[in-house]
Structure 1
Amino acid sequence: MASEKPLWPLLADAPSDADLSRCVHCGLCLNACPTYLITGLEVESPRGRIHMAKLVSDGRSELTASIQAHWELCLQCRACEAICPSGVPYGRIQEGARAQLDAAAPVGKNARRIRKFVLRNVVARPRVLATVVAPARWYANTRARGLVRRLLRGRLRVIESQLPHRVGAPFRATTGGTDADRADGVLFTGCVMGELFGNVHRATERVYERAGIRLSAAAGQGCCGALHAHDGDLEFARRLARKNIAALERTTGPIVVNSAGCGAAMKEYGDLLANDEPWARRAQAFGARVKDASELLSPTQGGAFAGTVAYQDACHLVHAQRIKDGPRALLASLEGCEMIETPGADVCCGAAGIYSLVQPAMSAELRKRKSDQFAAAMPAVIVTANPGCHMQYEAAVREAGIQARVMHLMEVLDEAGSDDRVG
């Protein structure tokens, strides 16, 4: 017999019955789900995970260690959401489910506390993050890297292989060298993106400058909160959202984001703060201004980029933001650029924020699928639009044993438009 009240540890952020009831168990999500494709298990499908949430919500099950394991294996790639005919908001459901684990996980409490501490006190604190990343930047650019790599084994070797071949100088929120009062839009700098992929931010500025759009990296902005929300720390994600809204709402023009995960999270600030009356309307207005870096560019701008290119969809770009054709059109417009479509280009690579660290086995399975596809297609360049994917593809290329550059879409467009480039 069902209990009178749901057994959610954190009822305020629990998946709503309205969201859960939208799933009609049709099964169309199964073959879109990466973990189902690997395991073939119903419990590792969106439909299975929603069923478990419904059991808890109806009081027919406690929040068990088994349910926790199935929820935590989810990549939150939202491929199921994009294909669902009933419009099930799976991303919102999964974030609500993770919030329950954040509040009262049946097992692994210490590991979750450590993750929460790192995400709050390292990733979301610019000075601390800069200090932590500095040694990795130095190591990525040192000549001794090849020797060290040969000595590493297991997970350490995988983590090392995810570092880009070269890490440029950091790019931090200031005025970005552009007069903010005369800027046409804002460049969102983020956290890890600005520290490890500063070259992508600089490339984005140059690409937009050539398109006649001046971007300012306005001060006061910071981490978008996506990693925190995905791990269930919705309270802190809301805090970061408010900070970004307060910092950027007085600017004008679009807020340009070149990290797919950040862009998806920021476009959905309205949902995140829907129950926060003082901020809800401001969050909706803010989200409407957020644009992926590919959205405002025209494929008629021209440029040349010789070579075979395999574009890989970032999950939160293609499934959450529903942007698929635009980046391909930009690449196809470049003189000499030969596009290669690999099977499953829109299937998750297994990076998924911190997923490759907390679920290494499943992440490796998904990365292996990509490396096999790259080995078969032999592209000269693999293009993505998200930092986590970028790092996962660096490892996949090494596992495939091929010579291929991994580049952000903005880096390709920048290289195609100018011979005077700076890293």
Structure 2
Amino acid sequence: MTTAESATRTVSSQKPVEDPASRPVDAGVDLDWLASKIDYRRFQECIHCGLCTASCPTYVETGNENDSPRGRIYLMRSVVDGRLGVSDDVRRHLDLCLDCRACETACPSGVRYGQLIEPFKVALQQSAPPGKRSWLQTLILRYLFPYGERVKIALAPARLMQRVGLLDALDTVGLTRLLPPTLRRMQAMLPKLSSGGAKLPEVLPPIGPKRARVALFLGCVADAMYPQTTAATARVLQRNGCEVVVPRGQACCGAIHYHSGIEEPAFDLARANLRAFDLDSVDAIIVNAAGCGAMLKDYGHLLPQSDHDLARRFASKVKDVSEFLVQLGPIAPAHSVSYRKVTYHDACHLVHAQRVRSQPRQLLEMIPGLELIPLEETEICCGAAGTYNLTEPEMSERLGRRKMEHILATGAEAVVTGNVGCILQIARKAKEYGTTITVEHPIDLLDRAYEGR
């Protein structure tokens, strides 16, 4: 029996150790920092019923109790109680968590698992031994992805190589296999890059009577990879009578930094967003990427006490685009699209973190002639999970294959999902499977249905 398994069997009957000096085990993480971030009652909310296990992607794949939400709560509580150190074994079980928060949806006790695993992952990254993450991954996750303009510049050579057919040629002859593993995975996920078009103006007028004034959050990777979806989001909002403001001082939501274990830079980005958006002048802050929306809605919980009041006001304004449109009362599109049958994959941070489930389906069902096919295990993670497909490629691959098998079984022409990471992950698997199925954001379909394209 491993140390982790032993702790899993005993932790539920233990009491927290109050005196740090009495802790029998060197935790390997900063327990005082964790105590400032985690309310110990969050651990005690778990009643160990196990109803979360069937919804956990890693437990479904491995069958290991330590890879379930219940098991990970046992491990984290053991570390905080001072009865277990963060060994390689313990670190592995916690690192493997996708933070998809499907367990929160399944939990009958309302355990806020995200408020446990997220600070714990920060602590794990802060205490990670040298070499835990390659210099290339560190460079990409800390200094490239969170900065949209840098991503656009970095994508320029790839865009040119795609245009002249060189990237496909290099892939065909196998030369892309010479790339470092991280770059090879990134290259495999590259979508067909558009030119990006003109930068959105700072204010876009409503089409028809004005019904609302909203601010559009651009993000970083999402806008750099899919600027056409950003533009489509603005057009759809305009079609629904919204005046759309695009604040110039906005930044990345901070999720990439935060989940990479560097808290202060994440908070700096969050504060830049708090300054950039004039909350009194808009009815909502609109987001079209599930991961960004979940992070923005968590500002009130994550940011330090000095920022709480403004952060909570900000978070209360944040709406996923599908959530906002259904709340507003969407105008029905008049045109059909090229698909007849599509299926919908629930992005984890939309369905579980934001509890936005029916709204994207309602928008899709408005499109004339479009049939929505149910997807088995729609709420199980596809393996993207932000940057998880770069940092945990093996488990990501297993979940990607699982998702693709279910998608193909629907017979749909396209799979639709509300998060850029899911789109990149599923599109890569579709390419590997050699299928013609396409992957799109629901707003892209709705935009074409309005425009008649």
Structure 1 gap ranges (5+): none
Q: Distance in 2 between matches of 1:172 and 1:31?
A: 45
Letter in 2 for 1:391: L
Cα displacement (A) at 1:385: 0.8
Q: Residue in 1 aligned with 2:318? A: 290
Q: Does 1:23 align with 2:56?
A: no
Q: Deviations over 1:173-216 (max 9, x none)?
A: 7616669xx98111100111111110001101111111111212
Change (3 A) 1:87 1:116: farther
For 1:35 and 1:344, the matched residues in 2 are separated by 14
* Post-superposition offset of 1:299: 5.0
Supply the distance in 2 between the matched residues of 1:136 and 1:70 (Cα, whole angstroms): 36
% identity of equivalent residues: 36
Aligned-partner residue type, residue 41 of structure 2: A
Are the equivalent residues in 1 in contact too, given 2:146–2:256 (CA < 8 A)? no
What's the counterpart of residue 151 of structure 1? 173
What's the RMSD between the two structures over aligned residues?
2.4
Are 1:226 and 2:247 matched, yes or no?
no
In structure 1, distance between residues paired with 2:57 and 2:50: 14
Partner residue in 1 for 2:71: 48
Counterpart check, 1:135 vs 2:157: yes
| Cα 1:57/1:31, change in 2 over 3 Å | same
Q: Match for residue 32 of structure 2? A: 11
Who is 2:431 aligned against? 398
Matched, 1:386 2:419: yes
Give 2:11's aligned residue.
none
SS at 1:111 equivalent: coil
2:316 aligned partner, one-letter code:
A
TM-score by length of 1: 0.91
Q: Which moved more, 1:221-230 or 1:147-156?
A: 147-156
Deviation at 1:157, TM superposition (A): 5.9
Change (3 A) 1:83 1:46: same
Contact 1:378/1:402 (CA < 8 Å) preserved in 2? Answer: no
Contact 1:171 1:195 in 2 (8 A): no
Please tell me the residue identity of whatever aligns with 1:301: A
Q: 1:376 maps to which residue? A: 409
- Deviation for aligned residue 1:232: 2.5
Listed one character per residue, the Cα deviations across residues 373-416 of structure 1 (whole Å, up to 9, x for unaligned) are 22222211111111110101111212332211211111010011
Gap change, CA 1:143 and 1:389, over 3 Å in 2:
same
Q: Given the alignment of the two structures, is residue 349 of structure 1 paired with residue 385 of structure 2, yes or no?
A: no
Residue of structure 1 aligned with 2:292, choices 241, 262, 266? 262
- Normalised to the residue count of structure 2, the TM-score between the two structures is 0.85
Q: Kindly state the Cα deviation for residue 24 of structure 1 after the two structures are TM-superposed.
A: 1.3
- SS of 2:202's equivalent in the other structure is coil
SS, match of residue 295 in structure 1? helix
Aligned partner of residue 214 in structure 1, secondary structure? strand
Q: Is the 8 A contact 1:102 1:112 kept in 2?
A: no
Separation in 2 of the partners of 1:113 and 1:148?
A: 25
161, 183, 187: which one aligns with 1:160? 187
Q: Structure 1 residues 94, 114: CA separation in 2 closer, same or farther (over 3 Å shift)?
A: farther
How many Å separate the matches in 1 of 2:370 and 2:149?
Answer: 40
The partner residue of 2:133 within 111, 116, 119 is 111
- Aligned residue among 90, 114, 133 for 1:67: 90
Q: Tell me whether 1:216 sits opposite 2:245 in the alignment.
A: yes
Letter in 1 for 2:168: G
- Segment drifting more, 242-251 vs 326-335: 242-251
Alignment of 1:247 onto 2:276: yes
Q: Pick from 281, 286, 296 the counterpart of residue 309 of structure 2.
A: 281
- Higher mean alpha-carbon deviation, 300-309 vs 282-291, is at 300-309
Residue identity opposite 1:123 in structure 2 = F
Query: Contact 1:184–1:215 (CA<8 Å) still a contact in 2?
Result: yes
Deviations 1:21-50 (A, max 9, x none): 111111011000000000000011111111
Distance change >3 Å, CA 58–CA 36, structure 1 → 2 = same
Q: Could you list the per-position Cα deviations for residues 233-291 of structure 1 after superposition, in whole angstroms to 9, with x for gaps in the alignment?
A: 22222121111011113542210000000001101100011x422x1000000000000
How far apart in 2 are the matches of 1:340 and 1:123?
34
1:200 alignment partner AA = T
1:335 match: secondary structure: coil
Which SS does the other structure have where 1:412 is aligned?
Answer: helix
What does residue 349 of structure 2 align with?
316
